[in-house]
Structure 1
Amino acid sequence: MAAAGEEQRRNAVDEQRRKAGPLHTDRGDTTIEETVVQKLAGMATREVPGVYAMGSAARRAFSAMAERIPGAQTNVSGGVVVEKGELQTAIGVSIVVDYGTSIVEVSQGIRRNVIQAVERATGLEVLEVNVHVTDVHLPEDDRQEAETRKTPELQ
């Protein structure tokens, strides 16, 4: 009788460990900050063809100014919002798409890439990846930017 009770207890403990996920083991816990998930999701999003930039216009302008500071690092988590629990996460990304690309295909690619990258790297289950398209990058935008750079600055 005692052996059956002990086996049931062990089975319950094993089941609890499986539910706790790979980040919580009998040898210790692993915690992951939201910024880690943001960076992983940002990098995975940028890898998808058709993604021109991330974030809103204001966010992109701020990032462009910050990157001009010597020694500054590129902000790969801009345009990414994360809600994270101990075992699961939900991710939102804001993007600018290239003109002529399918927003449906780009968003599907983002979901696939982000889920794969975050789950593989962190062990967290990604419940959802919401994609918010904030703008479309037009070919004329590149020409206007190039002309602006050629114009000498007044001193």
Structure 2
Amino acid sequence: MSTGSEATTPATTGTPSALQSEHGSTRIAETVVSKIAGLATREVNGIHALGGGAARAFGALRERIPGGTTNASQGVAVEVGEKQAAVDINVVVEYGVSIADLAKAVRRNVISALERMTGLEVVEVNISVDDVHLPSDDDGRDEEPKKLENPSRVA
């Protein structure tokens, strides 16, 4: 699982961690890690959306269904071991932001949130920028349909 050159697989053995003690162990599900990573990514200014085109289209449909909710882990893939996690995130950025600075901010926020909330060591956060959202992409979405000046007359 890596969009870079070499993947780091989360370790599953070794020294004790906050998730393991002589009284038992705590296992964090991949869905929990992916939701936290997705929410932490969305908190960063300059992120327009998460996921590739098809995932965003399905997400938009899901949100329009009564009772439908936003999928917090859309665009996020994770591998979780006993003590470590690796994260891959697909994003759409706002036009005009520095992608390098945005990627640093996303990494910092995701690592901080995951390590604070789960106790897992985050070994890598890979970010794929799939698209740039242009301000013109929003034009006309919330407008009412144009009305004919004289609807009885056909040109």
TM normalised by structure 1 equals 0.82
Please give the alpha-carbon distance, in whole angstroms, between the structure 2 residues aligned to 1:36 and 1:81. Answer: 11
Q: What is the root-mean-square deviation in Å for CA atoms of aligned residues?
A: 1.3
The equivalent residue for 1:71 is: 67
Please give the alpha-carbon distance, in whole angstroms, between the structure 2 residues aligned to 1:144 and 1:106. Answer: 28
Please give the alpha-carbon distance, in whole angstroms, between the structure 2 residues aligned to 1:115 and 1:144. Answer: 37
1:20, distance to aligned residue in structure 2 (A): 2.0
Q: What is the identity, as a one-letter code, of the residue corresponding to 1:43?
A: L
| Higher RCO structure (Cα 8 Å, ≥6 apart) | 2
1:111 corresponds to 2:107: yes
Q: What is the identity, as a one-letter code, of the residue corresponding to 2:50?
A: M
* Unaligned runs of at least 5 residues, structure 1: 1-17
The equivalent residue for 2:91 is: 95
Q: What is the identity, as a one-letter code, of the residue corresponding to 2:89?
A: V
1:27, distance to aligned residue in structure 2 (A): 1.2
Count of residue pairs brought into register by the alignment: 133
The equivalent residue for 2:145 is: 151
Deviations 1:119-153 (A, max 9, x none): 00000000000000000000110104234xx228x
Give 3-state SS (helix, strand or coil) of 1:78's partner: coil
1:72, distance to aligned residue in structure 2 (A): 1.7
Please give the alpha-carbon distance, in whole angstroms, between the structure 2 residues aligned to 1:123 and 1:55. Answer: 26
1:106, distance to aligned residue in structure 2 (A): 0.5
Higher-Rg structure is: 1
Moved over 2 A (4+): 144-147
TM normalised by structure 2 equals 0.82
* Unaligned runs of at least 5 residues, structure 2: 1-13, 147-155
Which one has the bigger helix percentage? 1
